[in-house]
């Protein structure tokens, strides 16, 4: 990439961001767009814009984001979102404090070294002039390399201090959330799996009740046996579908009656896609179907609760201390029976996974790991091919007929500025759903855990395929012939190309924060989709609300994407320090812009009280070690004799990770009894707590209490009001 292409990429990305920011200001002022720009506030019953829409200006959102506190974030979007901002602030702090030393020291050191420049005199305003500010331009020996050695240690020390402080802060956030005086249903329940086969003299309910009432005679409240809900859930979803269709048909009829009093009732054909079959009155048809399905649902509920009980259950206690204690205890001498964990929130439960057996879960986990490994391994081939193919020189070699087009200066500049980065971003967009599917297939019981698992898979995929794959792919493709004649030259080729690949990653990071964050702030795509749906598809209030439902921050992909940027910037921070300001802008702008989105737009779909943090921390340590190994390898290829002084760094990182894990991690897997022993502001209604866990397919139709007698326990209601 030449220098004009780099400037074109940077300038157009910045201009796009400014345009999108002003577009956001204009669009967010219109009250008809409030559902797109302020859905979180609307759902909480708050005024979308305090002071009125016309008080908005292009920088009002920045002022509000900066002035907001961590408590504001927790109140609006939960602890998990606050933890995400701790991550952003930690990454930002690492790059700011690293850059304070690296930029004023390393850039002059590299720029004033003439050892290599006297050999490669290609200075006609090309991007190679920017490459001259990298470590690649420093000779293979001499005192100048000591500056880069010290810089490597400085970045590592800054990272250790930042990560320690962040881990401690997140632990405090989690503790504060768990000791809250608010009554939260999940704090009074545990999830029990791998229950042994029931004896002939007992029912499953009696087996569970007698087991836990014997161990916890004073605090055991009730149990709920998990059932196979596939069939009943299918009927329930069909029933809900017909209810929505009925509501829509009635809305259409009411609307037509307003304009035409003698309008006919809506009708449709009962055959394939409503285009063939008997024509019927839609309202009557849907009413009949609903009555039929309600009867069918109630019958299936009774069968499910009595005959489809599984070897797992939710057990409730009238004290959250008792529930926390029970979730951490070993309940049987054989570890594959009566396995217990603290219960997730009711909305998080993946009911189909609760009944998976102990060894089945282990086998599924290893099979998924194997599939992920193969996916990463084989994906690196097309990723490397794309990184090589999307350089103009290689593109012309493979497709000579493009040569006349590529020679045009405007086309060449635009293609060099955007083609490789856009191709990579689009290619990566295909993967997240597949990884979420694989994570669910492991038998994980909760949505938050699935998100954490998918996030980890996606992180390792992006690091191995994007960071390493792009670097190796482009280099090996262009240097294949020289490597073929001299296989030993592969290390020299890679060492030479590592600083040069910083140019690709500079534009990649710039594209991500300017264009990516510009689209995030303006919400152009959700806005267009909402208004199209509202005008042409939505007929009821429920459909309109569904059309503007914002969803959550999307941690499964957002964390790994941010970690990829952190990996790129950290690994190149010493090799090409010019990349550090790009990392600072990415995480600084991300902290600011996403703070606005968390306060006003996104609505969390779960709350895990910061359980994501140990996984984020592990990825950050992995990134730090990758950076240290990269520097070791790079100094080694340069044949710098004092290189062994870097050997302690990866070992120190492993020791640091071990200490943090021993000191903090246990609290993130189990709630501390000291924390949950704090008093509640009111006596919990255990019946409400208990019923919040009943799945919708079993509670729909307002079934009588006797329907649950075969699966739900009524033992030990005495003392249920105590905490």
pLDDT (tens digit per residue) in 568-577: 899 889 888 8
Residue 426's pLDDT is 65
Verify that 477 and 602 share a domain, yes or no.
yes
Q: In angstroms, rounded to a whole number, what is the distance separating the alpha carbons of residues 637 and 475?
A: 16
pLDDT over threshold 90, residue 84 = yes
Residue range 476-521, pLDDT digits in tens: 555 555 555 665 555 555 555 566 666 677 777 777 778 888 889 9
Q: In angstroms, rounded to a whole number, what is the distance separating the alpha carbons of residues 77 and 606?
A: 10
Residue 95's pLDDT is 96
Report yes or no on 684 lying in a domain. Answer: no
Residue 70: CA atoms inside 13 Å, Cβ hemisphere, count? 15
Top mean-pLDDT range of 101-110, 583-592, 627-636: 583-592
pLDDT over threshold 80, residue 194 = yes
Verify that 291 and 369 share a domain, yes or no.
no
Apex CA 443: angle with CA 437 and CA 448, to 5°? 70
Least confident residue range of 13-27, 126-140, 662-676: 126-140
Least confident residue range of 496-500, 605-609, 674-678: 496-500
3-state secondary structure 631-697: HHHHHHHCCCCCHHHHCHHHHHHHHHHHHHHHHHHHHHHCCCHHHHCCCCCCCCCHHHHHHCCCCHH
Report yes or no on 678 lying in a domain. Answer: no
The dihedral over CA atoms of 29, 31, 34, 38, expressed in degrees to the nearest 10, equals 50
Q: Give the total number of structural domains in the chain.
A: 3
Residue 2's pLDDT is 57
pLDDT over threshold 70, residue 349 = yes
| Residue 716 or residue 11, greater confidence | 11
Nearest to 310 by CA among 419, 443, 506: 443
What integer is the mean pLDDT of 313-321?
Answer: 94
| Look-up of token digits 């179907």 | 289
Average pLDDT, the chain: 82
Q: In angstroms, rounded to a whole number, what is the distance separating the alpha carbons of residues 195 and 197?
A: 7
Q: Are 428 and 22 in contact (CB under 8 A)?
A: no
Residue 4's pLDDT is 67
pLDDT over threshold 80, residue 80 = yes
Verify that 389 and 538 share a domain, yes or no.
yes
Verify that 401 and 506 share a domain, yes or no.
yes
pLDDT over threshold 90, residue 400 = no
Other Cβ atoms less than 10 A from the Cβ of 311: the count is: 20
Report yes or no on 570 lying in a domain. Answer: yes
Q: In angstroms, rounded to a whole number, what is the distance separating the alpha carbons of residues 168 and 177?
A: 15
Nearest to 20 by CA among 519, 509, 422, 516: 519
Domain span at residue 314 reads: 185-229+308-344+693-721
Residue 575's pLDDT is 85
Q: In angstroms, rounded to a whole number, what is the distance separating the alpha carbons of residues 363 and 382?
A: 29
Distant-in-sequence, close-in-space partners of 196: CB < 8 Å, separation ≥ 6: 311, 337, 338
Report yes or no on 61 lying in a domain. Answer: yes
Verify that 390 and 489 share a domain, yes or no.
yes
Residue 455's pLDDT is 92
What integer is the mean pLDDT of 335-344?
Answer: 92
What integer is the mean pLDDT of 244-269?
Answer: 84
What integer is the mean pLDDT of 338-344?
Answer: 93
Report yes or no on 543 lying in a domain. Answer: yes
Report yes or no on 685 lying in a domain. Answer: no
| Residue 172 or residue 412, greater confidence | 172
Residue 439: CA atoms inside 13 Å, Cβ hemisphere, count? 22
Percent of the chain with pLDDT over 70: 79
What integer is the mean pLDDT of 389-402?
Answer: 58
Alpha helices in 190-229 (DSSP H): 204-215
Residue 704's pLDDT is 47
Q: Are 129 and 578 in contact (CB under 8 A)?
A: no
Q: Are 225 and 712 in contact (CB under 8 A)?
A: yes
Q: How confident is the model at residue 402 (pLDDT cuts 50, 70, 90)?
A: low
Strand duo 267-269 + 279-281: pairing: antiparallel
Verify that 462 and 327 share a domain, yes or no.
no
Report yes or no on 674 lying in a domain. Answer: no
Verify that 205 and 130 share a domain, yes or no.
no
Query: What six digits make up the tokens of 167?
Result: 């881990």
Residue 119's pLDDT is 42
Verify that 602 and 505 share a domain, yes or no.
yes
Q: In angstroms, rounded to a whole number, what is the distance separating the alpha carbons of residues 349 and 312?
A: 13
pLDDT over threshold 90, residue 153 = yes
What integer is the mean pLDDT of 374-399?
Answer: 63
Total length of the chain: 723
Residue 259's pLDDT is 77
pLDDT over threshold 90, residue 359 = yes
| Look-up of token digits 């012939």 | 481
Least confident residue range of 66-70, 291-295, 539-543: 539-543
Q: How confident is the model at residue 97 (pLDDT cuts 50, 70, 90)?
A: very high
Q: How far is CA 474 from CA 122, 375, 420, 505, 668, in A?
A: 21, 20, 11, 13, 41
Verify that 28 and 99 share a domain, yes or no.
yes
Distant-in-sequence, close-in-space partners of 468: CB < 8 Å, separation ≥ 6: 380
Nearest to 349 by CA among 653, 701, 53, 697: 697
Q: Are 438 and 354 in contact (CB under 8 A)?
A: no
Verify that 168 and 142 share a domain, yes or no.
yes
Residue range 16-75, pLDDT digits in tens: 888 998 999 889 888 889 899 999 999 988 888 765 555 567 788 888 899 999 999 999
Positive/negative CA dihedral, 173, 178, 183, 185:
positive
- Domain final residue pick, 266, 284, 300: 300
Least confident residue range of 60-74, 371-385, 410-424, 636-650: 410-424
pLDDT over threshold 70, residue 139 = no
pTM, rounded to two decimals: 0.86
Q: In angstroms, rounded to a whole number, what is the distance separating the alpha carbons of residues 566 and 569?
A: 5
CATH number for the domain that contains residue 207: 3.30.70.330
Residue range 262-271, pLDDT digits in tens: 777 888 888 7
Verify that 200 and 260 share a domain, yes or no.
no
Helix (H, G, I), strand (E, B) or coil at 341: strand
- Alpha-carbon radius of gyration of the chain: 30
What integer is the mean pLDDT of 96-118?
Answer: 78
Q: Are 151 and 576 in contact (CB under 8 A)?
A: no
What integer is the mean pLDDT of 249-274?
Answer: 80
Verify that 503 and 632 share a domain, yes or no.
yes
pLDDT over threshold 60, residue 709 = no
Percent of the chain with pLDDT over 90: 47
Report yes or no on 167 lying in a domain. Answer: yes
Least confident residue range of 73-87, 298-312, 433-447, 631-645: 631-645
Other Cβ atoms less than 10 A from the Cβ of 175: the count is: 18
């Amino acid at each position: 990439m030449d220098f004009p292409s780099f400037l074109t990429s940077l300038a157009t990305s910045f201009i796009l961001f400014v345009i999108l920011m002003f577009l956001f200001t204009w669009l967010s002022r219109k009250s008809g767009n409030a559902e797109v720009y302020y859905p979180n506030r609307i759902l909480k019953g708050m005024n979308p814009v305090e002071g009125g829409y016309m008080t908005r200006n292009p920088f009002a959102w920045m002022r509000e984001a900066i002035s907001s506190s961590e408590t504001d974030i927790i109140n609006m979007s939960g602890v998990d979102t606050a933890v995400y901002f701790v991550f952003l602030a930690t990454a930002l702090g690492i790059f700011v404090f690293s850059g304070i030393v690296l930029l004023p020291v390393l850039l002059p050191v590299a720029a004033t070294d003439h050892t290599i420049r006297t050999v490669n005199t290609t200075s006609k305003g090309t991007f190679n002039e920017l490459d001259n500010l990298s470590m690649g331009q420093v000779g293979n020996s001499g005192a100048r390399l000591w500056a880069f050695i010290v810089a490597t240690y400085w970045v590592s020390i800054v990272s250790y201090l930042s990560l320690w402080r962040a881990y401690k802060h997140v632990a405090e956030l989690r503790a504060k959330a768990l000791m809250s005086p608010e009554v939260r249903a999940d704090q009074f329940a545990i999830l029990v799996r791998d229950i042994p086969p029931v004896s002939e003299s007992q029912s499953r309910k009696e087996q569970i009740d007698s087991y836990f009432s014997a161990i916890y005679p004073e605090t055991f409240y009730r149990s709920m046996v998990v059932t196979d809900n596939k069939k009943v859930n299918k009927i329930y979803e069909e029933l809900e579908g017909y209810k929505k269709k009925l509501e829509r048909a009635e809305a259409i009829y009411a609307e037509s009656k307003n304009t035409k009093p003698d309008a006919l009732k809506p009708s449709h054909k009962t055959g394939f896609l409503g285009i063939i079959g008997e024509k019927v009155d839609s309202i009557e048809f849907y009413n009949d179907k609903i009555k039929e399905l309600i009867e069918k649902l109630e019958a299936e509920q009774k069968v499910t609760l009595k005959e489809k009980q599984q070897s797992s259950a939710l057990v409730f206690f009238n004290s959250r201390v008792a529930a926390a204690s029970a979730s951490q205890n070993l309940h049987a001498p054989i570890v594959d029976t009566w396995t217990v964990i603290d219960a997730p929130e009711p909305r998080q439960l993946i009911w189909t996974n609760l009944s998976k057996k102990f060894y089945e879960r282990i086998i599924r986990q290893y099979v998924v790991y194997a599939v992920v490994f193969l996916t990463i391994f084989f994906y690196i081939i097309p990723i490397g091919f794309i990184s090589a193919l999307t350089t103009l020189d290689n593109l012309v070699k493979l497709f000579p007929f493009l040569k006349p087009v590529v020679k045009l200066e405007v086309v060449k500049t635009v293609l060099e500025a955007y083609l490789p980065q856009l191709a990579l971003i689009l290619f990566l967009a295909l993967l997240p759903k597949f990884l979420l599917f694989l994570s669910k297939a492991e038998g994980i019981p909760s949505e938050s855990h699935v998100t954490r698992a998918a996030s980890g898979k996606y992180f390792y995929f992006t690091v191995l395929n994007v960071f390493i794959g792009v670097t190796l792919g482009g280099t090996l493709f262009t240097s294949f012939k020289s490597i073929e004649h001299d296989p030993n030259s592969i290390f020299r080729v890679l060492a030479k190309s590592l600083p040069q690949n910083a140019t690709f990653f500079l534009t990649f990071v710039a594209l991500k924060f300017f264009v990516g964050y510009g689209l995030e702030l303006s919400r152009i795509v959700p806005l267009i989709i909402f208004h199209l749906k509202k005008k042409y598809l939505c007929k009821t209030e429920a459909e309109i609300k569904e059309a503007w439902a914002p969803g959550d921050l999307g941690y499964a992909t957002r964390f790994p994407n941010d970690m990829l940027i952190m990996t790129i910037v950290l690994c190149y921070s010493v090799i090409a320090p010019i990349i550090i300001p790009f990392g600072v802008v990415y995480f600084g702008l991300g902290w600011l812009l996403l703070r606005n989105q968390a306060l006003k737009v996104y609505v969390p779909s779960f709350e895990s009280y910061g359980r994501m943090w140990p996984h984020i921390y592990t990825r950050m340590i992995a990134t730090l070690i990758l950076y240290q190994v990269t520097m070791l390898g790079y100094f080694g290829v340069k044949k710098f004799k004092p290189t062994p002084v870097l050997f302690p760094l990866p070992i120190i990182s492993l020791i640091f990770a071990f200490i943090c894990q021993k000191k903090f991690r246990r609290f993130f897997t189990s709630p501390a009894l000291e924390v949950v022993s704090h008093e509640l502001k009111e006596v919990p209604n255990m019946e409400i707590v208990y019923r919040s866990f009943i799945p919708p397919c079993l509670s729909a139709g307002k079934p009588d209490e006797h329907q649950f007698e075969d699966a739900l326990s009524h033992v030990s209601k005495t003392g249920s009001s105590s905490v």
